[in-house]
Amino acid sequence: KSTAVRRYPISISWPPEAEMLAKPVEQCAADLRQLNSLPAGHRICIGVDRLDYTKGILERFRAVERLFELNPEWVGKFSLVQIAAPTRSSIDEYQSHEAQVRALATRINERFGHGGRDAPPPIVLKVEHHDAHEVYEYYRAADCCFVSSLHDGMNLVAKEFVAARDDERGVLILSQFTGAARELPEALIVNPYDTDQCAAALHLALTMPRGEQRDRMRL
């Protein structure tokens, strides 16, 4: 029999359920900072992934480290909040990857966590499951979202972040190795293996004027 093969890019339910967007963006941001012991006005980038080596979490952490090296004015004023859901924990390679992620976060926090015990850590690593409502609050609170997948058929985190921002604020940094990059060219498209490029994208996201954020998010 003849068979037709076509690609059908998957997406998310849109618009999000009303309760997902019920809490105002400002309240989400205030609650996130309080929950993670971050000061008022502290800038936040969010990463949401399974703890999988294809998601580029190590590369994302190295980009944060490079941002601090190139732009030391962000030290103590910016943090990456990384939600990393445990996955396939019984497999040795995944256990090793989790150990590497934890070790790199610790090293960067020790290097750039200036100011003593109460100073905000550069990387807030949360290796635990979060439900959809919790994740949407993080999306709504963040200044930017960083998707640094090394190989991804689509990646729906990128689309969820955009959908969550009914305030038309925030910046999406998106790996060129995701299917979503073809559909969301208004994001800051990066090669996650290029640490300097990713660090520059973080700086650009954190300094992007509100008007440009709005124009990109509307598109």
Backbone φ and ψ for 134, nearest 5 degrees, come out as: -65, -45
DSSP 8-state code for residue 76: T
For the stretch 1-35, pLDDT in tens is: 999 998 888 899 888 888 888 899 999 999 999 99
Is the bond preceding residue 15 a cis peptide, omega within 30 degrees?
A: yes
Maximum CA extent, the chain: 69
Torsion of CA 126, 179, 21, 41, to 10 degrees: 50
- H/E stretch holding 8: none
pLDDT by position in tens, the chain (length 219): 999 998 888 899 888 888 888 899 999 999 999 999 899 999 999 999 999 999 999 999 999 999 999 999 999 999 999 999 888 878 888 899 999 999 999 999 999 987 556 679 999 999 999 999 999 999 999 999 999 999 999 999 999 999 999 999 999 999 999 999 999 999 999 999 999 999 999 999 999 999 999 999 999
User: Could you tell me the CA-to-CA distances from 208 to 144, 155, 188, 197 in Å, in that order?
Assistant: 10, 24, 11, 16
- H/E stretch holding 44: strand 43-50
Give the end-to-end CA distance of the chain in Å, rounded to a whole number. 42
Q: At what angle do helices 132-141 and 25-35 cross, to 10 degrees?
A: 100
